Amino acid sequence: MPFRILLIHPPISLEGTEAAMEKLHNVTAPLGLAYLAAMVKGLDVKLKILDAHLYQMSLRQIEKEVKRFKPDLVGMGTTTASAVACGKIARSIKKANKKVKVVVGGPHIIATGTEMLEVFKGIDIIIPGDAEEAFRELVQTLLSRKSLKKSRGIIFRDKRKIVKTKPVPLRPLDEIPFPAWNLLPPLDKYSFQPANYRRKPQSFIVASRGCPYRCIFCHISRFRHQIRFRSPKNVVKEIETLHKKYGINEFRFADEIFTINKKWCFEICDRIIEKKLNISWSCDARADHMTREMAHKLKEAGCWSISIGIETGSPRILKRIKKDITLQQVRNTVKYAHEAGLFVRSFFMLGFPFETRDDIEKTIAFAKSCGLDFCQFTYVIPFPGTEIYDICQKRGVFGKYGWMTYNASEYTAPVCPPKGVSEEEMKKYFKRAYREFYLRPRLWISYILSVRGLTDIKRYIRGFKALLEQ
């Protein structure tokens, strides 16, 4: 009888209720789990991916699926937002069957180290980093009934001790198989935010991993400072496969910064152009990277939208958060993108603990003044593994496991508002930022003029409904 592996994408809420960001239907495929599934294909295992996040499953529904599948190993990937739900699922699984091994990886594990093992006793093993090779070794170790100490790249609980094994060398990204798309729910079940797509169905794709920058609100540079690239040939081959086999027409590069290596970026664009692929795509860029030449190359290859993290309209706060860009670079990026016919999405954060009311006013004013097509405002959330989290810890904002106190309210309430600014006042700033940006006739005229069909009309309606809920 084959070894049975169940990979679970946990929801943010276990009550079966719609999470905040899902009001925008921003539900994307769990690529991390699909990569793990691809890594153990060929071994004597039976695999299943359960996307409990997509279907907003309750704990009871998840328990029924686990009972039906009878796994020997359960793997979960977790963000900070879903960490508590992940721990509760693990506890439920172990309560039903102590023999089932539960392994957890993902961004939250990378950021918090052994904390999930300390807090949630139902979790047996964690993988603190890129998990593909470590997960394959773990499965092979369990299949051979060897000691977990023989499996590299993991941390596990051995009675009352926490044991860390030797690191496992990372494979070149081209050697990692494409995600096991066939094990996921139908890809047309997933959807991006209204402003983030033009065609359906859609999919994320990862072409590189890592970021060399030092923003204090992001943990990536602490743990993935070195950038690793897939070859352009490998990237475009996966795009072709998804387009021809699964009918994917729209792609979003999930890279931290797709435009960071000009030569590599241009070669991917040239290969897409050469293949004459009838696709649309979007990516994340930085304001200090964009040139006229790059904007036009992206557009020629089918890119229709770029996203840039601006975070604040205050030069003082830009320096304080180590963003390493200027507001003039943002204006230049918007100008070059619009000249090439690209849509520009942006991200701003409200509520840094060292912000003032004047800084917040500058952010709202700048968002309206520099020609952006779309803005997403979020509260500052001090995620574990970031410098801002350390700052908040020192200020006594929360206890030892601070992430447990706010993960369920991610994006919905300010965690650490500036000194002297109440939570209620921050919420008023938040609503005002959205309404002042979007309730401008000139912006909606530009949206109307850009409508190309029924899909555009539907997504604008979805976006407007979400705006009214702010």
pLDDT at 470 > cutoff 60: no
Assess whether 393 and 260 both reside in one domain: yes
Assess whether 157 and 305 both reside in one domain: no
Q: Which of 125, 41, 84, 115 is nearest to 410 (CA)?
A: 84
Assess whether 147 and 225 both reside in one domain: no
Is position 180 within any domain? no
- Model pLDDT for residues 25-54, shown as the tens digit of each residue: 568 899 999 999 999 999 999 999 999 999
**Structural domain total, the chain:** 2
Assess whether 160 and 204 both reside in one domain: no
Assess whether 315 and 365 both reside in one domain: yes
More confident residue, 56 or 465: 56
Assess whether 392 and 293 both reside in one domain: yes
- Model pLDDT for residues 232-286, shown as the tens digit of each residue: 999 999 999 999 999 999 999 999 999 999 999 999 999 999 999 999 999 999 9
> Residue 290's domain spans which residues?
192-468
Assess whether 158 and 204 both reside in one domain: no
Is position 174 within any domain? no
CATH code, domain with 201: 3.80.30.20
Whole-number pLDDT of residue 25: 52
What is the arithmetic mean of pLDDT over 105-109? 93
Is position 173 within any domain? no
- Model pLDDT for residues 383-438, shown as the tens digit of each residue: 888 999 988 888 877 767 777 766 544 457 788 889 899 999 999 999 999 999 99
**CB-based burial, 107-145: b 16+ in 10 Å, e otherwise:** bbbbbbbebbbebbebbbbbbbbbbbbbbbbbbebbbee
Is position 327 within any domain? yes
Is position 175 within any domain? no
**Contact yes or no for 179/225 (Cβ under 8 A):** no
Q: Which of 247, 242, 252, 279 is nearest to 192 (CA)?
A: 252
What is the arithmetic mean of pLDDT over 95-112? 94
Question: pTM of the predicted model, to two decimals?
Answer: 0.92
Assess whether 368 and 445 both reside in one domain: yes
Q: Which of 89, 18, 81 is nearest to 50 (CA)?
A: 89
What is the arithmetic mean of pLDDT over 192-217? 88
Q: How confident is the model at residue 363 (pLDDT cuts 50, 70, 90)?
A: very high
Is position 94 within any domain? yes
Assess whether 302 and 160 both reside in one domain: no
Work out the percent of the chain whose per-residue pLDDT is above 70.
91
Q: Which string of DSSP letters, residue by residue, matches 25-65? A: T-B---HHHHHHHHHTBTBSEEEEEEETTTTT--HHHHHHH
**Contact yes or no for 375/466 (Cβ under 8 A):** no
